[in-house]
């Protein structure tokens, strides 16, 4: 199987779940009456902020790294990441006992850079552009022979991310909706594969910041558009939509909606206040979609995958 | 039974647990390997930040208000509080369908004042001094005939707070230590009553900010000292030790230790980062006591009651 061009199957997600089962947490699902009252539905949150390394990204990285042959593994792994994927690769490599190299842009939060280093990975800094990330990564790959673990445009990573939805639907089988944020599309595409193979009907909704809406535009146009992204407080969603991810999203996702920066920030704060759980700004995108009535879930059950809880606590998004 | 002069018994705590069982959450107990590694012990956290109104205070207020006769109840209840007790009384009164009056000082965080109002209580502002609290409260009591629900110096409140330790020891029966913060002493005294009636030996340790150490000084001197308190970031612990509380603490508590403001702030931040759970500064006092080696728990099981998760998110303690 070519991990860069072949779409993973539901069977690959089941295999991923088996492969990572001893290493990843089965994270809790919580409810909070405030969100039910505000939406008229019953809202469930799958808490991947309580996952290893504080983010769902551990699932995909762990599946990819545990899938490597011993020959591949001994040369190590490398990736580029503004944060959570870097931590995920660093920690999964540590579990396998191999070296990880993580290329991180200047804007990556200090907390995430320190965490990656803390897991024993080699951090290589680059500039904030995608071009710089890729050229610095190429150097690392050429020098080390390491295997590149793409943050999202990789069948093994997508299958790994799908395991969150697998657990979610195992715990709440009659969800009418699953909402996830979409950046590169790893989580949304993995979730969609699982939802379309669920015995009951589940509508899968991607949610994206208005200012970084390449997935929304691609979905609506039916073709992969990657230009024209701006800035967002949801730093985990700045990546552009992947190729494999677009193909799956185009095929299996029901809709993508966008939300404003203001809605993201206020929804994040509301979630902190109501649940006492720390979530990073990206997580607040699907919450904002519900609180701003972008999707009508009245009388329905809606599940949101809370993607991570890593952020710089020195300055919160509502503190200007 | 005179609630202002008689010490509650273990039997009163059991009755409280029954009385509040339909209204209060049985909160989860969590662990986090970071704290085990740092202390060499096994550390358990009882998450009362996930309790109704976001704090253990709901237990005591609910027990007191649900204990009132119908004649007493119809005149309403009143209290003074810098925060969580006010919310607790307001919400418990709402559940019973009676009016609550809450006297709140100027320094009370906006979030807490708004929450009290949100539960339908009548908020009466006063100055920051204890004298002002009491004189304003007297006015309210005289005008309304409401029953005063003291934040901690009340047998019904103490019995209610004890129910947290009851659940904690039910879930982890072989705890060697239970640590709580001490302000007025409601939680610590209720916890001590429960621990001393547990079949296995549990050492009960109070933890207090160095700058507000009246409980520490009272405990060491063996007499009730209430003067000489300073300022602390742990705003929930500014209250002076209660009379009933002192008698119980003097009788049943094993030790009280103090921690610095710096240790409180850094421990709070570490807990946020490691567990993704929001705790208010008061909760960090017992955590700081462990991380600063004020108590040796190596090879032992230690339980910390996490008291609440309500704080003003506009300015965090580490943001100067």
The token pair at A153 is 């445009």
Question: B133 lies in a domain?
Answer: yes
Check: CB of residue A45 under 8 Å from CB of residue A304: yes
On whether both A246 and A115 belong to a single domain, the answer is no
Measured from the Cβ of residue A200, the count of other Cβ atoms closer than 10 Å reads 10
Question: From A310, which residue of chain B is nearest by alpha-carbon distance?
Answer: B273
Q: What pLDDT, on the 0 to 100 scale, is given for residue B3?
A: 86
On whether both B44 and B164 belong to a single domain, the answer is yes
On whether both B261 and B232 belong to a single domain, the answer is yes
A123 touches chain B (CB under 8 A): no
* Segment B69-84, tens digit of pLDDT: 999 999 999 999 878 9
Q: Phi, psi (5° rounding) for residue A280?
A: -85, 165
Question: Average pLDDT, stretch B17-31?
Answer: 96
Q: Do A318 and B313 touch (CB under 8 A)?
A: yes
Chain B nearest-CA distance from A120, in A, is 17
Chain B CB contacts of A87 below 8 Å: none
Question: B311 lies in a domain?
Answer: no
- Please state, for a pLDDT cut of 70, what percent of chain B lies above it: 100
A281 touches chain B (CB under 8 A): no
On whether both A135 and A264 belong to a single domain, the answer is no
B277 touches chain A (CB under 8 A): yes
For chain B, the domain total comes to 2
List, as one string, the DSSP characters of A53-93: GGBTHHHHHHHHHHHS-HHHHHT-EEEE-SSHHHHHHHHHH
* Segment A111-121, tens digit of pLDDT: 788 889 999 99
Q: What pLDDT, on the 0 to 100 scale, is given for residue B1?
A: 67
Gap between the Cα atoms of B259 and B207, Å rounded: 7
Cβ-proximal residues to A202 (8 Å cutoff; 6+ apart), any chain: A169, A175, A176, A177, A178, A195
Q: Of A119, A148, A177, at which residue does a domain stop? A: A148
Q: Of B148, B170, B193, at which residue does a domain stop? A: B148
On whether both B113 and B199 belong to a single domain, the answer is no
Q: What pLDDT, on the 0 to 100 scale, is given for residue B301?
A: 98
b/e map B234-264, b = 16+ CB within 10 Å: bbbbbbbbbebbbebbbebbbbbbbbebebb
Question: Which residues share a beta bridge with B45?
Answer: B30, B304
Q: Do B277 and A277 touch (CB under 8 A)?
A: yes
Q: What pLDDT, on the 0 to 100 scale, is given for residue B2?
A: 84
Chain B CB contacts of A316 below 8 Å: 313, 316
Question: From B317, which residue of chain A is nearest by alpha-carbon distance?
Answer: A314
Chain B CB contacts of A269 below 8 Å: 313
Task: List the CATH number of the domain containing A99.
Answer: 3.40.50.1100
Question: Average pLDDT, stretch A215-227?
Answer: 95
Kindly indicate whether the ipTM for this predicted assembly is greater than 0.85, answering yes or no.
Answer: yes
Question: A50 lies in a domain?
Answer: yes
Chain A nearest-CA distance from B277, in A, is 5
Gap between the Cα atoms of B102 and B148, Å rounded: 10
Going by the DSSP 8-state scheme, the letter that residue A49 receives in this structure is G
Of the candidate ranges A16-30, A160-174, B123-137, B255-269, the one whose mean pLDDT is the lowest: B123-137
Question: A318 lies in a domain?
Answer: no
Check: CB of residue B157 under 8 Å from CB of residue B149: yes
Q: Which of the pair, A149 or B238, is modelled with greater confidence?
A: A149
Question: B315 lies in a domain?
Answer: no
Q: Of A129, A148, A167, at which residue does a domain stop? A: A148
On whether both A48 and A181 belong to a single domain, the answer is yes
- Mean pLDDT, chain B, rounded, equals 95
Domain that holds residue A143: 58-148
Indicate whether A22 pLDDT > 70: yes
Chain A nearest-CA distance from B23, in A, is 14
Going by the DSSP 8-state scheme, the letter that residue B292 receives in this structure is T
pTM: 0.93
Q: Do A316 and B318 touch (CB under 8 A)?
A: no
Check: CB of residue A49 under 8 Å from CB of residue B276: yes
On whether both B45 and B70 belong to a single domain, the answer is no
The token pair at A214 is 């390449």
Indicate whether B210 pLDDT > 80: yes
On whether both B123 and B246 belong to a single domain, the answer is no
Residues 126-165 of B with CB under 8 A from A: none
Question: Average pLDDT, stretch B195-214?
Answer: 97
Q: How confident is the model at residue A220 (pLDDT cuts 50, 70, 90)?
A: very high
On whether both B200 and B128 belong to a single domain, the answer is no
On whether both A133 and A170 belong to a single domain, the answer is no
Sign of the Cα torsion B198, B203, B207, B213 reads: positive
Question: A1 lies in a domain?
Answer: no
Instruction: Indicate the residue of B273, B278, B314 with minimum beta-carbon distance to A276.
Output: B278
On whether both A77 and A223 belong to a single domain, the answer is no
Instruction: Indicate the residue of B273, B276, B316 with minimum beta-carbon distance to A277.
Output: B276
Q: How confident is the model at residue A128 (pLDDT cuts 50, 70, 90)?
A: confident
Three-class secondary structure of residue A266 per DSSP: helix
Q: What pLDDT, on the 0 to 100 scale, is given for residue B242?
A: 96
On whether both B184 and B298 belong to a single domain, the answer is yes
Question: B318 lies in a domain?
Answer: no
Q: Do A276 and B318 touch (CB under 8 A)?
A: no
Indicate whether B207 pLDDT > 80: yes
CA dihedral B190, B173, B264, B291 (to 10 degrees): 150
Question: B313 lies in a domain?
Answer: no
Indicate whether A68 pLDDT > 80: yes
Question: Average pLDDT, stretch A212-230?
Answer: 93
Cβ-proximal residues to B21 (8 Å cutoff; 6+ apart), any chain: none
B314 touches chain A (CB under 8 A): yes
Question: Average pLDDT, stretch A235-239?
Answer: 87
């Amino acid at each position: 199987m070519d991990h860069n061009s072949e779409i993973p199957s539901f069977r690959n997600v089941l295999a991923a779940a088996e492969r990572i089962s001893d290493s990843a947490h089965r994270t809790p699902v919580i409810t909070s009456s405030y969100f039910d009252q505000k939406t008229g539905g019953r809202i469930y949150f799958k808490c991947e902020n309580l996952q290893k390394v504080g983010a769902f990204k551990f699932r995909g990285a762990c599946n990819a790294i545990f899938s490597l042959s011993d020959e591949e593994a001994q040369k190590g792994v490398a990736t580029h990441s503004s944060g959570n994927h870097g931590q995920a690769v660093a920690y999964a490599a540590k579990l396998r006992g191999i070296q990880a190299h993580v290329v991180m842009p200047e804007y990556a939060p200090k907390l995430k850079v320190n965490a990656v280093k803390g897991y024993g990975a080699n951090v290589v800094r680059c500039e904030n552009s995608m071009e710089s990330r890729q050229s610095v990564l190429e150097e690392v790959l050429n020098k080390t022979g390491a295997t590149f673990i793409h943050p999202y445009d990789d069948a093994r990573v997508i299958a790994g991310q799908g395991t969150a939805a697998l657990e979610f639907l195992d715990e709440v089988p009659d969800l009418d909706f699953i909402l996830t944020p979409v950046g590169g599309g790893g989580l949304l595409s993995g979730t969609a594969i699982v939802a379309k193979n669920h015995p009951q009907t589940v509508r899968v909704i991607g949610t994206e910041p208005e200012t970084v809406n390449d997935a929304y535009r691609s979905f609506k146009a039916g073709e992969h558009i990657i230009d024209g992204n701006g800035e967002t407080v949801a730093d985990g969603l700045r990546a552009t939509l992947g190729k494999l991810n677009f193909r799956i999203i185009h095929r299996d996702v029901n809709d993508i909606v966008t939300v404003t920066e203001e809605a993201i920030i206020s929804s994040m704060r509301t979630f902190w206040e109501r649940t006492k759980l720390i979530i990073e700004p990206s997580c607040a995108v699907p919450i904002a979609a519900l609180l701003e009535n972008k999707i009508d879930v009245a009388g329905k059950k809606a599940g949101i995958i809370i993607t991570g809880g890593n952020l710089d606590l020195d300055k919160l998004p509502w503190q200007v």
